């Protein structure tokens, strides 16, 4: 990070607030991490309307149903990612999981 330029209005507001925390640097060290946390938290939260929320929660309660589309989405996800692998396990055939781990290890240069 480097220096940050503020307009005159913001500089005046900071000049008023800074003495309450000691110095402008102390104020920034106090305020910036809190604002950072707020921005990250706001981006991590999704609010659904009540009807959509009920549908979403009901879908989570339903058992997983495999489909060709879900498998294709997983394969596409793996192709587009750099550090993920997709495994489609059917009838407890764990070879798909071992193969996915091997693909990921080769991609990451591990093992």
Name the residue ranges covered by the structural domains of the chain. Answer: 8-44, 65-108
Tell me the pLDDT tens digit for each residue of 11-47: 888 888 888 888 888 888 888 888 888 888 887 878 8
Looking at every residue in the chain, the average pLDDT score rounds to: 86
Q: Are 97 and 78 within 8 A, CB to CB? A: no
Model pLDDT, residue 98: 92
> C-alpha angle 9/11/16, rounded to 5°?
100
Average of per-residue pLDDT across 60-87: 88
């Amino acid at each position: 990070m480097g220096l940050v330029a503020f307009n005159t209005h913001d500089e005046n507001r900071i000049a008023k607030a800074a003495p309450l925390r000691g110095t402008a640097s102390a104020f920034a060290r106090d305020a910036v991490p809190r604002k950072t946390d707020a921005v990250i938290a706001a981006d991590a939260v999704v609010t659904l309307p009540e009807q959509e929320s009920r549908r979403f929660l009901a879908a989570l309660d339903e058992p997983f149903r495999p489909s060709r589309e879900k498998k294709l989405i997983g394969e596409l996800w793996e192709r587009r990612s750099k550090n993920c692998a997709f495994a489609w396990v059917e009838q407890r055939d764990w070879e798909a999981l071992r193969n996915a781990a091997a693909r990921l290890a080769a991609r990451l240069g591990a093992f």
